[in-house]
Amino acid sequence: MKRFWMALIFLALAPLSSQAEIATVGGRGLMYHAPEGYVMAAEGKYAEALSFLKKAMPEDVVVHAVYVEKNTDESYGKTPDQMLDDYIVVTSNLKVDSYMISQTDFAKLKDKITQVQDTQLTTSVRDRSNKRLDEVTDGTVKIGRVRPMGIVESTDTRVSFMAVMTQSANINGALITFDQAFLSMTLLAESKVLSINHYRTVKTDEDIARFKAESTAAIGSMRFKEGAVAGVTDSLPVSESRKNKLSNTLTWAIIGGVIGAAIYFFRRRKSQGQPPALPGMPGKKTPPPPGSQPPPAGNSSHPSTSVKIGEKLEKNDNDRFGKQE
């Protein structure tokens, strides 16, 4: 009888164990679970979106995983108007990955992140994000108004902030605009730092309030082992010049989070020979500005390439993004 109950317990727990994932950050494997209600973005199904994400991110940002809300995933690609309405991107930064971060270190990072989101989100972060998007979309996609929603959560092991961004894309001569809520959480897990960014299209204040609650819950369901490893002492740079470089690194991490919002525009290709498409989509359509030209079809200067999650897509040698001091 005892063996029967042990077997029953094992079978009950097996599905939970199978959902475990690992993100390797600075050589350390961090175990966690897929966020509840979300599935890993399959590389074949989301080839164009994942390829664009790799290309667009600042060079030191590593994408570990992309998760898509289950209903969005099921309907993605079935109709021309179905976009990536709800997804989560897990990243880290190579310049921080090599450090083992203490609680004191993380407190310093939290202060910098709080400062950047409070003072730069609507100015330099937006402007530098748009500069990067100009490079990789030929000026097709823009981030417009950014409405900061402030700090959502701040503890010894995590800090998150939220904003609502108005995005636009010039599609076949029509300007498409929509609002997207964005929650960015920076997390200390086993002395490593992760950025978990959640995106969802929104239309009303009720949508925004619902997203705020559901996003925090979804990220919390990933169950990282939060905190510093016992015995880890302060290891972050202390000189003024290195502090400035660290601050710039964190700024680029936030910029990477903002840029991640743009993969909303990609839909699944119907055949391997079909180029990435930015089709007509739901949202507010207005005529393009006078004198503007429609974007080149297929954006052929940036071919689609399937890449493996956790690996970097090669960037142009002249790409200066991520190297600014």
pLDDT digits (tens, 9 = 90+) for 155-176: 999 999 999 998 887 767 778 8
The DSSP bridge pattern shows strands 192-202 and 28-33 to be: unpaired
280 found inside a domain: no
In-domain check, residue 315:
no
Residue 2 is assigned to a structural domain of this protein? no
Distance CA(33)–CA(21), nearest Å, equals 6
Chain centroid, CA 287 distance in Å: 30
Domain count, the chain: 1
In degrees, rounded to 5, the angle at the alpha carbon of residue 23 between the alpha carbons of residues 197 and 230 is: 100
Residue range 170-219, pLDDT digits in tens: 767 778 888 999 999 999 999 999 999 999 999 999 999 999 999 999 99
> CA dihedral in degrees (133, 135, 141, 147; nearest 10)?
30
What does the pLDDT average to over 275-294? 41
The identity of residue 318, as a single letter, is N
Q: The domain containing residue 137 runs over which residues?
A: 21-269
Looking up tokens 């108007």, which residue turns up? 81
Query: How much is the CA Rg of the chain, to the nearest whole Å?
Result: 20
Q: Is residue 281 part of a domain?
A: no
Kindly report which listed range (6-10, 49-53, 310-314) carries the lowest average pLDDT score: 310-314
pTM greater than 0.85: no
pLDDT at residue number 260: 77
In a domain, 317, yes or no: no
Predicted confidence at residue 104, as pLDDT, reads: 87
Separation of alpha carbons 145 and 164, rounded Å:
8
* pLDDT reading at 100 higher than 70: yes
Q: Is residue 98 a part of any domain in this protein?
A: yes
Mean pLDDT estimate for the chain: 75
Q: Give 212's Cβ-side CA count (13 Å radius).
A: 16
Phi first, then psi: what are they for 30, rounded to 5°? -105, 120
Q: 308-322: per-residue pLDDT in tens?
A: 333 333 443 333 223
> Within a domain: residue 105?
yes
pLDDT at 18 over 90: no
Please check the confidence at residue 282 and state whether its pLDDT lies above 70.
no
Q: Is residue 325 part of a domain?
A: no
